[in-house]
Amino acid sequence: MERTCINAENTVFVLLSFEGPDLYSLAGGLGVRITNLASTLANSGFETHLFFVGDPARKGHEISCGGKLHYHRWCQWISRYHPNGVYQGEEGKLNDFKGSIPGFVVNDIVKPAEKNGKLVVVLGEEWHTTEAMCNLSELLYDMDLRDRVVMFWNANNTFGFNRIDWRRLADNTTITTVSRYMKQIMQRMGLSPFAIPNGIPSALLNVVDTNAATRLRKSLNADLVLAKVARWDPDKRWHMAVESVARLKSKGIRTRFLARGGMEPHGEEVKHNARSLGLTIREVRAPGNDLKSCMGALASAGEADILDIKFHCSPELLRLIYYASDAVLANSGHEPFGLVGLETMAARGIAFTGGTGEDYAIHLHNSVVLETSDPREIETYVLYFAGHNEIKESIRREARRSAAWFTWEQVVRGLIDKLEYQARLQEVLEVPRLSPVWDSTLTVVQNMEMSYKRG
């Protein structure tokens, strides 16, 4: 039977990632990305298998979403000796991952799918999966099954690029990345990746509880509220952010800066710089993980210039913070995509992006796109908006509209389009025939061209 497209009846997805949905496996944006991608595919009806380094205390194989979504928690026998998360014992897990996954995928997924006349799509994420992807591809070649499998490997960042055998990877997979910015970096390396953006769950477009956001804003007792959620990393331009807060304070403007960093040592350097600029800092810890406890902790934090948030921020709390803030500083100097900026826009917040990989950002239409690392740029725009509420409200409206183009449902449609292109190159999908309408249109065009040539 002729197969002209990829759909839930004829295709099985396999996703390979070190990070995943378990708390044990969530170390950054990759875990969020792969979890949302897997659930979107499964909810669209595709049989989806996600392999990740999972919590050693949970089931090795877990099925959900009406039998469509399969979690395969890998390396659990190693993780039992490394309880502190996905990257503890990294090298041992990496060796197990690349050595054992290919055979399992071939025998338990590809062969049954091929027997049932189905195509298999394998998506690998980040440098940890490159060897597994190459080993899988080469095993499929040995078993004369490679043309039945479409394989994409995706770069979310430049981390680990020095550990990748790029020639081998390009020979065995189609390389993709998440933005034009990353595409340009990789083109300079002699690569030609497809650009397929990140996405956000469509639920993030739901209307924010404005009453709760107003209460949060009022409890901070400030003229201006700024926020930043990022790893403590020089690329995130934390110094630029705190220096802009210091400049606002020097003008007598009560500014509260909500800072949610990670565990990285650069945080101490940033806070030392903030204190040297005359800023006060208070660590904020919540007695519980519920929204009420977290909001209460922020409300009772006192008059410090910087509130250093030390508790987990749920998506619900983050949306309130994004909406309540005068600016969310997603001002990175190197940002492959910028999920925080997009999530801010979905909540109708005002994102200040760094102008690198944030393809969704249009300056003064749906966000502020910063051109420099000068803290005066942040200061100037924040003060400008304070006197131009109509522009601020216009940006908030357009921000949410723009974010709607980057839901995972939209992203998956674009992904499938690229997969279908590759599947046609491999001749496992037929090129669809033109409809009679297009046939007749082409005939008219051809006749016009002939008449033109005759003069």
Residue pair 58/22 in contact by the 8 Å Cβ criterion: yes
Radius of gyration of the chain (CA): 25
Residues 6+ apart with CB under 8 A from 134: 165, 168, 169, 172, 173
Which stretches of the chain score pLDDT less than 70? 1-2, 433-455
- 122 within a domain of the structure (yes/no): yes
Same domain assignment for residues 191 and 278? no
- 438 within a domain of the structure (yes/no): no
DSSP-based three-state secondary structure for 64: strand
Extract the tokens encoding 157.
């960042």
Helix axes 408-425, 29-43, angle to 10 degrees: 80
- 224 within a domain of the structure (yes/no): yes
Number of domains in the chain: 2
CATH number at residue 65: 3.40.50.2000
Same domain assignment for residues 99 and 212? no
| 11-32 residue pLDDT tens | 999 999 999 999 999 987 899 9
E strands, 45-178, in order: 47-53, 61-64, 69-74, 119-125, 149-155, 174-177
The position carrying tokens 């940890």 is 128
E strands, 11-118, in order: 11-16, 47-53, 61-64, 69-74
DSSP-based three-state secondary structure for 74: strand
Residue pair 373/240 in contact by the 8 Å Cβ criterion: yes
Same domain assignment for residues 70 and 104? yes
Same domain assignment for residues 310 and 191? no
Same domain assignment for residues 162 and 306? no
Q: How many CB atoms lie within 10 A of CB 86?
A: 28
- 444 within a domain of the structure (yes/no): no
- 372 within a domain of the structure (yes/no): yes
Same domain assignment for residues 251 and 374? yes
Cα 327 to the chain's mean position, in Å? 21
**Residue 237 region by backbone torsions, left for phi larger than 0, else alpha for psi between -120 and 50, else beta:** left
Helix (H) or strand (E) segment spanning residue 369: strand 368-369
- 305 within a domain of the structure (yes/no): yes
Whole-model pTM?
0.89
Q: Residue 177 burial (CB < 10 Å; 0-12/13-18/19+)? A: buried
Same domain assignment for residues 117 and 76? yes
Query: How wide is the angle at C-alpha 434 spanned by C-alphas 430 and 438, nearest 5°?
Result: 165
Same domain assignment for residues 247 and 261? yes
Same domain assignment for residues 263 and 369? yes
**Residue 287 region by backbone torsions, left for phi larger than 0, else alpha for psi between -120 and 50, else beta:** alpha
| 31-89 residue pLDDT tens | 999 999 999 999 999 999 999 999 999 999 999 999 999 999 999 999 999 999 999 99
- 435 within a domain of the structure (yes/no): no
What's the domain range around 64?
11-199+407-425
Residue pair 159/426 in contact by the 8 Å Cβ criterion: no
Looking at residue 223, its pLDDT comes to 97
Same domain assignment for residues 308 and 186? no
Same domain assignment for residues 221 and 324? yes
Residue whose C-alpha is closest to residue 307's, from 280, 325, 286, 288: 280
Residue whose C-alpha is closest to residue 245's, from 234, 233, 254: 254
Same domain assignment for residues 109 and 152? yes
- 195 within a domain of the structure (yes/no): yes
Residues 6+ apart with CB under 8 A from 29: 156, 198, 339
| 387-398 residue pLDDT tens | 999 999 999 999
Helix (H) or strand (E) segment spanning residue 194: strand 194-195
